[in-house]
């Protein structure tokens, strides 16, 4: 008899495995094919991959070795898909719902758009769904409730709309819920109190408001506060700033014994700060700034350290510890003693005030009619859409020199890419250290906010914020003009252009017509007359089709309908292009713009600047042309 080989048990096990468990082998093979097919479909919906994150996603290697993919060792099924921060552009394929072993799905900090697929509700083992900082739209899928193992749900920094679905309340294992900076409406859902594992909770910068209930007596709407009860003791971070909450601050916040950070700023809360909040002993930071709060500030707990609380923008608060520098609260006894005298004084003051106000109504009305001319010093940037400093910093690669396309007296212009605009833009950053730069920003906002013309540069958005150093920052964002300024075409040899640029006579005539059309609109068709004051080739930009656009309204003047001109101090415009009378202190007028336009035309037709070195001893561009064309 042959000796028994030690390999025999192993071979016997393999034989029996294939004999009695064929379905398991086939199921594993089919599962691998399903995951592979789902990943291929996911890749097909991505149309831009600037960093080459998906270059390894091909048939040359197993999909478990593709970049961003993690598979289980036993089944070779996809358990993690992590492509965070690769600037991918595209939509999320519904085939992701077939990756049934997936536990982590991370697409944060990209440019995915479209709706979140309902098919994600099939991912029963999903623990982390991380989709923050994209451009996703639509509503939050209701069938995420099937993902019963979900612990982290990050949907912030998108364009989601609608209400927060109540179905999320069934996710009992949820620990972090971040849906900040969307366009969500409605109120704080009641299910929040049932999520006993929830520790991080951020709804900041949405359009949320207090939900309303109706009285059974008269069916009139009544405001109710968000309610927090003992089941919420695990809350550590509660961020509700930048919404539309109003009413009083709920005293039920005191039940959140584990709370470390509470931010209620930039809402419409009114009334006093509940004393019970000082009983949250672990609270390290409280921010109630920019609300309508009033009354006495508590002094214990978090209120005992001025560096741990922020409450600016509430002008009726009083008391508190001395480090808060709030006014003292009135003494109740003294207030009661002087109440009677106050009534008598108030009646007298009311009568006198009424007579004074009545006597000035006609004067005030008359002054308003005389002074309807708007002031350039009044900021009107609230009428413009705004962009954050972070977006501008990222879109211009930190305002790098490689993106610098021009500079002037009040700042510099950079080429950039903004996700919100979807194309290349020009970012004009004002150098606020220069005298007059801040006023130039307001002037340009005022001049461009309501004007629309094919030959005027269009302002897309603006930024009035602080930079990473905490210094004031102001910028305007315009359409990017690929063909640069008219000056680069008229004088390429002077500006060291990379390639020669020439304009034929037809191009020059078209540009002259475009500029004339823009001036006619500013002078004759605007609701308020606008005088540009600085028309020159460097302020005329050309787009892809060589259509001219007048730009740089930093020293422009608005003139009311009742005035024919407006006065100015000092020289307006650029030497050579500004009319001589401006240098003598004359008033700016439409005639000054037409003088600059005439000089611009002569420069376009002769190719010489008005400040050319040959123009001296009383000679100028106008005389040069007159001598050259004696018969005209």
Active site (catalytic) residues: 534
**Residue 109: alpha-carbon gap to chain centroid:** 15
Kindly state the helix (H) or strand (E) to which residue 154 belongs, with its residue range: strand 152-154
Q: How far is CA 170 from the centre of its chain?
A: 33
Give the DSSP letter of residue 315. Answer: T
Angle in degrees, 0-180, between the axes of helices 8-20 and 22-44, rounded to the nearest 10: 70
Helices and strands per DSSP (H, E), number in the chain: 10, 30
Q: Are 485 and 540 in contact (CB under 8 A)?
A: yes
Instruction: Identify the helix (H) or strand (E) that includes residue 113.
Output: strand 111-115
Alpha helices in 483-588 (DSSP H): 486-490, 505-520
Q: How far is CA 80 from CA 71, 357, 420, in A?
A: 7, 72, 29
Q: Closest Cα partner for 45 from 117, 103, 106, 100?
A: 117
What does the CA dihedral 171, 101, 136, 164 come to, rounded to 10 degrees?
-10
On the 0-12 / 13-18 / 19+ scale of CB atoms within 10 A, 554 is buried
Calculate ∠ Cα 424-475-454, nearest 5°: 55
Nearest to 160 by CA among 196, 185, 187, 127: 185
Q: For residues 605 and 629, what is the distance between their CA atoms, to the nearest angstrom?
A: 12
Tell me how far apart the alpha carbons of residues 125 and 78 are, in angstroms, rounded to a whole number: 11
Residue 170: DSSP 8-state: G
CA-nearest of 568, 572, 577 to 535 is 577
Measure the N-to-C terminal CA separation of the chain; round to a whole number of Å: 126
* Region of residue 313 (left: phi > 0; alpha: psi -120 to 50; beta: else): left
610 three-class SS:
coil
Q: How many Cα atoms within 13 Å fall on the side-chain side of residue 310?
A: 12
443-471 in b/e form (b: 16+ CB < 10 A) is bbbbbbeebebebbbebbbbbbeeeeeee
Residue (of 210, 173, 206) closest to 189 by Cα position: 210
Helices 621-628 and 590-606 cross at an angle (nearest 10°) of 50
Q: Give start and end residues of each alpha helix (H) in 147-203.
A: none
Query: Measured between alpha carbons, how far is 93 from 100 in angstroms, rounded to an integer?
Result: 14
Q: Is 428 annotated as a binding residue?
A: yes
Binding positions for ATP: 428
Binding positions: 428
């Amino acid at each position: 008899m042959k000796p028994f080989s030690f390999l025999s048990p192993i071979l016997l096990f393999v034989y029996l495995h294939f004999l009695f468990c064929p379905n398991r082998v086939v199921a594993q093979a089919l599962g691998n094919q399903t995951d592979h097919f789902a990943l291929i479909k996911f890749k097909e919906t991505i149309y831009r991959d600037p960093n080459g994150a998906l270059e390894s996603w091909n048939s040359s290697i197993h999909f478990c070795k593709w970049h961003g993919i993690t598979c289980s060792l036993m089944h070779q099924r996809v358990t993690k898909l992590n492509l965070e921060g690769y600037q991918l552009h595209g939509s999320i394929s519904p085939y992701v719902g077939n990756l049934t072993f997936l536990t982590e799905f991370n697409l944060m900090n990209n440019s995915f758009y479209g709706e979140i697929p309902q098919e994600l509700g099939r991912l029963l083992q999903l623990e982390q769904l991380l989709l923050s900082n994209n451009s996703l739209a639509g509503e939050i899928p209701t069938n995420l409730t099937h993902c019963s193992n979900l612990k982290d749900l990050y949907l912030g920094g998108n364009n989601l709309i609608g209400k927060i679905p109540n179905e999320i309340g069934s996710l009992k294992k949820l620990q972090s819920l971040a849906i900040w900076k969307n366009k969500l409406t409605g109120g704080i859902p009641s299910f929040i109190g049932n999520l006993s594992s929830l520790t991080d909770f951020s709804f900041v910068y949405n359009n949320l408001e207090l939900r309303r209930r109706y009285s059974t007596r008269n069916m009139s709407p009544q405001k109710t506060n968000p309610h927090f009860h003992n089941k919420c003791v695990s809350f550590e971070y509660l961020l509700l700033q930048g919404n539309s909450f109003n009413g009083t601050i709920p005293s039920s916040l005191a039940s959140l014994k584990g709370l470390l950070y509470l931010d209620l700023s930039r809402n419409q809360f009114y009334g006093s700060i509940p004393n019970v909040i000082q009983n949250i002993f672990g609270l390290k930071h409280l921010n109630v700034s920019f609300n309508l709060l009033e009354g006495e500030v508590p002094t214990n707990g978090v209120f005992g350290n001025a560096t741990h609380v922020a409450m600016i923008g509430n002008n009726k608060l009083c008391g508190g510890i001395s480090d808060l520098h709030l006014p003292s609260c009135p003494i109740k006894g003294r207030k009661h003693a002087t109440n009677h005298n106050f009534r008598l004084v108030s009646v007298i003051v009311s009568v006198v005030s009424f007579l004074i106000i009545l006597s000035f109504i006609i004067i005030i009305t008359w002054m308003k009619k005389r002074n309807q001319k708007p002031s350039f010093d009044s900021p009107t940037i609230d009428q413009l859409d705004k962009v954050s400093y972070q977006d501008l910093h990222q879109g211009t690669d930190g305002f790098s020199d490689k993106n610098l396309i021009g500079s002037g007296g009040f700042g510099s212009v950079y080429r950039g890419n903004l996700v919100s605009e979807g194309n290349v833009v020009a970012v004009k950053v004002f150098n606020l250290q220069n005298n007059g730069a801040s006023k130039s920003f307001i002037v340009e906002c005022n001049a461009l906010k309501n004007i629309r013309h094919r030959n005027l540069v269009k302002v897309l958005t603006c930024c009035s914020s602080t930079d990473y150093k905490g210094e004031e920052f102001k910028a305007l964002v315009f359409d990017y003009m690929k063909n640069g300024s008219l000056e680069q075409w008229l004088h390429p040899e002077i500006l060291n252009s990379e390639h020669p640029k020439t304009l034929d006579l037809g191009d020059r005539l078209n540009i002259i017509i475009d500029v004339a059309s823009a001036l006619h609109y500013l002078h004759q068709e605007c609701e308020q007359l606008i005088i540009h004051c600085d028309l020159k080739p460097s302020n005329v930009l050309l787009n892809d089709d060589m259509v001219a656009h007048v730009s740089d309204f930093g020293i422009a003047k608005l003139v009311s309908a009742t005035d024919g001109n407006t006065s100015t101090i000092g020289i307006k415009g650029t030497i050579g292009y500004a009319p001589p009378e401006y240098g003598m202190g004359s008033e700016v007028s439409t005639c000054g713009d037409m003088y600059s336009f005439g000089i611009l035309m002569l420069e376009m037709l002769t190719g010489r600047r008005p400040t050319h070195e040959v123009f001296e001893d009383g000679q100028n561009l106008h005389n040069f042309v007159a001598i050259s064309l004696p018969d005209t």
